Amino acid sequence: MSEPVASPIPCRSVLVIGGARSGKSRYAQALAESTSAHRLFLATAEAGDKEMSARIARHRADRGLGWETREEPLDLVGALRAEARPGRVVLVDCLTLWLSNMMFAERDLAAEVARLAAETLDLPSPVVFVSNEVGHGIAPATALGRTFRDEQGRANQEIAAACGAVVFVTAGLPALIKPAPRPDLRLT
């Protein structure tokens, strides 16, 4: 696994995005660990079945010592307001599960994502968000799947706009995509 990418500009928030099993969570954890000895893992997953319970336990064990954990499947803004503080880094893993939790709770997704994006701009500590890029595959076969894909794409765009940096991880390799230089097209 590559070391975290050094951002060319200081930033308070980073969105780490990639596909399933891309290495994004491992990268985000390494980035947070290189930022502060005071770390909070803000988990959005819920253990709804045995497989997810085992997955959560494995992730908790992989983090090891030096991490506090808070589980918050719905009120991410409230949790960040309560937990973000100077000298501490917060790792939110992941926005994709948070969004699906919000959908099943029949919350106003656009309003909740807007609240999270606005809150991101004012947090007193660095935050690393993890999210899935779900739009790179084939179109989902169901209306619910297509709605989720579309909502996740919109949420990723809004959170990316609010974050100072965005890192795309694929095959365990991070690529800094924000800030990015703008191509200078020539008409000659």
Residue 59 annotated in active site: yes
Query: pTM for the complete prediction?
Result: 0.89
User: For residues 78 and 45, what is the distance between their CA atoms, to the nearest angstrom?
Assistant: 16
Confidence at residue 62, expressed as pLDDT on a 0 to 100 scale: 78
**Cβ atoms of 36 and 89 closer than 8 Å:** yes
Confidence at residue 8, expressed as pLDDT on a 0 to 100 scale: 47
**Cβ atoms of 73 and 45 closer than 8 Å:** yes
Catalytic residue among 12, 59, 149, 154: 59
Sorted by where each starts, the structural domains of the chain and their CATH numbers stand as 13-178 (3.40.50.300)
Which residues fall within 8 angstroms of residue 95, CB to CB, at 6 or more apart? 44, 129, 130, 131, 132, 155, 156, 159
Residuewise pLDDT in 10s, the chain (188 residues): 555 545 445 788 999 999 988 999 999 999 999 998 899 999 998 877 888 777 777 777 777 788 999 999 999 999 999 999 999 999 999 999 999 999 999 999 999 999 999 999 999 999 999 999 998 878 889 999 999 999 999 999 999 999 999 999 999 999 999 988 777 787 76
